Amino acid sequence: MATARQFEDLQVWQDARLVVSAIYSASKSRAFRRDFSLCDQIRRAANSTMSNIAEGFERGTRREFIQFLNIAKGSNGEVRSQLYVALDQEYINENEFNVLREKAVALSKRLATFIRYLDGYTGDTRVKKSSRAKNNLQPSTRNLQPAS
């Protein structure tokens, strides 16, 4: 697995971003928008999924990252549940529902796999530090010499 330097590098975050985009697109219809409560809630749940992945990554410890990934997984489940309400209220058709649900299910599976990976990781942090970064802890004096 490649080392992530920032949360945007994580495939799971990128997938969550796609789910957010798809939810916003689907909830733009007039009927969906008029149900302000559902529209707002499904959008907030999708945003929460993406945001918790980012926040957990930025926390700096594997344990906290896993905690936030679990929260993200829960928010993603909330999105899936609300999709049923949107379908039942005919804000989205069955084809839209199936596409959106599949994106959310795939994200849930990816989150679960990532959580299992991090649970099995033996290091203290969830991001490996490069040896180059370790070597650059001491300030270089090469470029501090006055120009002649």
pLDDT digits (tens, 9 = 90+) for 67-82: 999 999 999 999 999 9
DSSP alpha helix (H) spans, 7-137: 11-26, 30-34, 36-59, 62-88, 94-120, 131-135
Q: Report if residue 94 sits inside a domain.
A: yes
Domain range spanning residue 16?
8-119
Indicate whether 134 belongs to any domain: no
Is the model's pLDDT at 134 over the cut of 60? no
33, part of any domain: yes
User: How far is the first Cα of the chain from the last one, in angstroms, to the nearest whole number?
Assistant: 48
Put simply, whether the predicted model's pTM sits higher than 0.95 gets the answer no
- 59-91 per-residue burial string, b: 16 or more CB within 10 A, e: under 16: eeebeebbebbebbbebbbbbbebbeebbeeeb
**How many domains are contained in the chain?**
1
Place 128 in a pLDDT band, splitting at 50, 70 and 90. very low
Distance CA 101, CA 54 (A): 22
User: Per the domain annotation, does 14 fall within a domain?
Assistant: yes
Domain assignment of residue 143, yes or no? no
Residue 95 lies inside a defined structural domain of this protein:
yes
Q: Do the domain assignments include residue 70?
A: yes
Residue 106 lies in a domain: yes
- CATH number for the domain that contains residue 106: 1.20.1440.60
Return the closest-CA partner of residue 45 out of 67, 23, 75: 75
pLDDT at residue 139 tops 50: no
